[in-house]
Amino acid sequence: MAIAKKAVVWGLFAAGGTLSSFVFPALIALFLLIATGNVPNGLQFEQFHTFASSWLGKACLFIVLFLSLWHAAHRLRVVAHDFGIRKDTLVANTVYAVAAIGTVLAAFYLFSIS
């Protein structure tokens, strides 16, 4: 039913957009810091591994990745449409597949950190 699919996808988009708007600047800033060669304590293997082993750490990382992936996927679908690529079903399936793969990988990697 039309409302079902679009409502769910939009919900993920909205939640992911809110979360990524709040979290991604800090994330990019951390990558910037790493790029200068100054790796902060919390991102040394010991500390970060411990954080990612905890259920709280896993939950945080997974939720951020899951929602951000689906947010980006849905938006890229709209971007494709805005740039004249009108094969919406093909685009939708592609972007959502990418998001799904990312989600599965996130779950897999997080699960295997113990």
What size, in residues, is the chain? 114
Contact between residue 94 and residue 80 where contact means Cβ atoms under 8 Å apart: no
Identity of the residue, 32 or 59, whose beta carbon is nearer to other proteins in the bound complex: 32
94 binds other proteins (CB under 8 A): no
Please pick, from the candidates 59, 78, 90, 97, the single residue that binds other proteins as defined by CB under 8 A. Answer: 78
**CA–CA dist 90, 98 (Å, integer):** 12
Please pick, from the candidates 91, 92, 96, 106, the single residue that binds other proteins as defined by CB under 8 A. Answer: 106
**CA–CA dist 84, 98 (Å, integer):** 21
56 binds other proteins (CB under 8 A): no
CB of residue 35 to other proteins, shortest distance in Å: 4
As a 3-state breakdown, the chain gives helix, strand, coil percent values, each rounded to 5, of 85, 0, 15
63 binds other proteins (CB under 8 A): no
List the Cα angle 109/79/63 in 5-degree steps: 25
Q: Please give the size of the binding site for other proteins, defined by CB under 8 A.
A: 66
Angle separating helix axes 2-35 and 55-82, nearest 10 degrees: 110
Q: Contact residues for other proteins (CB under 8 A)?
A: 2-4, 6-8, 10-11, 14, 16-18, 20-37, 39-45, 47-49, 51-52, 61, 65, 68-69, 71-73, 75-76, 78-79, 81-84, 86, 98, 102, 105-106, 109-110, 112-113
